[in-house]
Amino acid sequence: MKFALITFNYSLDTDKGTAAGPGALLRAGLADWLREQGHGVAGPFHVTLTPDEQAAYGAWNRIFCANAQLARLVFEAAQGQAFPLILESNCYAAIGALAGLQMSKPSTRLGLIWIDAHGDCNTPETTPSGMLSGMPVAIATGLCLQRLRKQGGLDPPVAPHDVVMVCVRANDPLEQELIDQSGIEIVPVADIKGEFSQLRATMERLSSIVDRIYVHFDVDALDESEVASMWLTAPDGPTSTELAAALEILMAYPKVAAFGIADINPERDVDGQMVQAALAVMKGGIAGVAV
């Protein structure tokens, strides 16, 4: 199988060291491992803002300029029959990833698997932190920041019923209220630690109604014991072994069309534990999609 490695290095908010996360995964030998498994590797291709985009007003505006570029790279990878593996600084790169899967045909019905400790479904009206990285699901589903979503290339938005959250367990009160009202499904940690019965049923349902599925993985979905150096962690999560097994199952579904990983900060990951845990999960997912 052929994979395209794509990096999104732009970051803001408090934990800016995540901009170096994609490079840390590459230095850890991801491309070499893929080749050792007999896969073709294209790239890495890097999102790079133009001088005009760098000078554009507003940090949020620049992030969505970068998302538009990411969309183009994802689209080009898919056109070249390569499965996009997107190494993201932060979760808001999901907008560009989804937009790239939609680019050839705006009527494409997209599904989103959101693997994260946090729902990232806040809006500017509900957020207690003001962080853009806490809003990408709300943006992707058209609940806020419409102009920025369209600037990133995602139009129309993803239907909330076509979003599934996995291992989400640390939502803000108003954020949880919004998730409940929107009808977004949550597959709990217990299912990932068990026999994956809800995960399988969910993937069957989603695969039957959407055209393409994007799988997003924030490393803080893992139990805090494996990502202790992260800025935001949550207890009672799955181990990397458990989540890798789940990824192998869900990414074997043919509608899965791209995978993204976010939130690795090598400045905090002094012993490399976070990168190794993330790679273990990725390898499970790659085994699934390569079946």
User: Structural domains in the chain?
Assistant: 2-289 (3.40.800.10)
Low-confidence ranges of the chain (pLDDT < 50): none
Distance CA(171)–CA(157), nearest Å, equals 22
Given this model, what pLDDT does residue 25 score? 96
Peptide bond preceding 188: is omega within 30 degrees of 0, i.e. cis? no
Indicate yes or no: pTM above 0.75: yes
Cα–Cα dist 10/245, whole Å: 30
- pLDDT at residue 267 in the model: 85
In the chain, the amino acid numbered 236 is D
**Residue 16, pLDDT score:** 66
SS (H, E, C) 192-247: HCCCCHHHHHHHHHHHHHCCEEEEEEEHHHCCCCCCCCCCCCCCCCCCHHHHHHHH
What pLDDT does 239 receive?
96
Distance CA 272, CA 262 (A): 16
- pLDDT at residue 269, as a whole number: 82
Here the tokens at position 254 are 């043919």
Query: How far is Cα 103 from Cα 29, in angstroms, rounded to an integer?
Result: 30
pLDDT at 58: 87
The rounded distance, in Å, linking the Cα atoms of 188 and 166 is 6
